[in-house]
A and B are shown apart, each in its own frame.
Chain A
Amino acid sequence: MAAPSGIPAAQPAASSASVAAAPPRPPLVWDPVVRLTHWLIALVVLLNAVLTKGGGSLHVWAGWIGLGVLVLRLVWGLIGPAEARFSAFPPNPAAALRHLGQLARGRPDTHSSHNPAGALMAYALWALLAVTMLTGLVMTGGRTPMQLDDERAAVAQGDWSVLVKDGASADADDGDGDGDDDGERGGLGKAAGEVHEVAANLILVLVFLHVAGVFVESRATGHNLLRPMLAGLKAGIRRRGHRE
């Protein structure tokens, strides 16, 4: 009997019975949480690096959404399916270098989750995303975009009291520099701004390397690494297109 045509089956399915000692291969399809969080993060990075104005309302909204998505992916790394869990791709710089060496010679090993170099890339991106989001929170005083929008609307109407009240209450609560968001633009806020910018630029560099890595790895191993990250989405779009 022929294998089922159409959408490729999820990871452990195909040919588990017939091929006993096949080499491990990356998932045929990543699970939906991995796919959704991957593309949402990509969208947030694209938005906030290229399209939105730094500090603008949309920029802060996108940053918070990215924060939520990152939190979900990290939780999924603890309790998700096997190949999405951190234990499936521990950070291992030595293995990553070995993998890059194999890649340079054109014969890289295949892996059942991220390859060691890709794993290191994932951790680096997550760390930089976290740094960018946290410094962004410091720059906005930890206020949600709703609160920021409210305050901006009030100020635009000529009601400056929100700024005064906020600074005063922060000073009254504790003097450890929580109120640095509006009044004093120096110190912590300025440092956070610098780090925010550097980390954001590093993310863009890593994104470029990531895309290049996926391309090179796909060519070298013969496994298309992009399709498993797209699969469900593409199938959904195709099917919807058919109905219309």
Chain B
Amino acid sequence: MTPAADPRAARRRQTLALAAFLVVQTLAAVFFVGDVIGDLRANPASIHFIFEALVTAALALGVLFGTFALRRTIDLLRAQEAALDVARGALGEVIDSQFADWGLTPAERDVGLLALKGLDVAEIADMRGAAQGTVRAQLTRIYSKAGVTGRAQFASWFVEDLLGEGLRRAPAS
């Protein structure tokens, strides 16, 4: 599981817990309503009945508002996830088109992407089944095509876009 997915999973668990709580509240409300209806048939004028009916009405209203609140939470969560996906997709497009502009070969694009993700030379070589020397040579060519001095500048090239006004796109749908 990637670390980026964790807060979202936590929020999803939270909505599940809220929903479970809502179910319990609804059950309580239904039992109280049943009790009140029973009292209504027995003795509708007593203080006991009136008080209990008020409390039950308050509980039912509370459950209704809880339902509304849960609905809003779910909507918010989905909006955030959609926004995150748009941003992620947009960054991917920016990287792709920039790599194309620099004229990277397919192999260099793969290596460049892995380097952006923070893998070191040994890991990239391992992943691609290539020699470390090959990867190092590819990285050097990438840096020279991009006109940067090294990995840090290479990565910051894209981070800069995120910090500025870039990537402010509305969802396409």
Contacts and interface: CB of A to CB of B under 8 A. Distances in A.
Given A5-B5, A10-B77, A232-B12, A64 B23 contact: no
A146 B39 CA distance: 13
B26 A68 contact: yes
Given A6-B2, A81-B74, A17 B86 contact: yes
Nearest to B86: A17
Nearest to A72: B26
Contacts of B173: 16-17, 20
A16 B82 contact: yes
Given A12-B78, A32-B15, A236-B16, A76 B9 contact: no
Nearest to A69: B23
Contacts of A10: 12, 74, 77-78, 81
B23 A17 contact: no
A68 B29 contact: yes
Given A40-B23, A72-B23, A144 B31 contact: yes
Nearest to A20: B172
Interface in A3-28: 4-7, 9-18, 20
B21 to A, nearest CB: 10
Given A31-B74, A32-B19, A9 B85 contact: yes
B38 A147 contact: yes
Contacts, number: 134
B118 interface: no
B19 A36 contact: yes
B26 A71 contact: yes
Nearest to A242: B1
Contacts of A46: none
A80 interface: yes
B9 A79 contact: no
A211 interface: no
A136 to B, nearest CB: 12
Contacts of A236: 13, 16
Interface in A47-91: 64-65, 67-69, 71-72, 75-76, 79-81
B37 interface: yes
Given A1-B91, A6-B5, A13 B81 contact: yes
B112 to A, nearest CB: 13
A178 interface: yes
A-B residue pairs, 9 tightest by C-beta = A32-B19, A68-B30, A68-B27, A1-B92, A72-B26, A32-B16, A13-B81, A144-B34, A17-B89
15 contacts: A4-B4, A6-B9, A10-B74, A13-B81, A13-B85, A16-B86, A17-B173, A31-B74, A33-B19, A33-B67, A36-B19, A36-B20, A68-B29, A72-B23, A236-B16
Interface of A: 1, 4-7, 9-18, 20, 31-33, 35-37, 40, 64-65, 67-69, 71-72, 75-76, 79-81, 142-144, 146-147, 169-170, 173, 178, 232, 235-236
Interface of B: 1-2, 4-5, 8-9, 12-13, 15-16, 18-20, 22-23, 26-27, 29-31, 34-35, 37-38, 41-42, 64, 67-68, 70-71, 74-75, 77-78, 81-82, 85-86, 88-92, 95, 169, 171-173
Given A7-B12, A65-B27, 5 more contacts: A10-B77, A13-B85, A17-B171, A64-B31, A232-B16
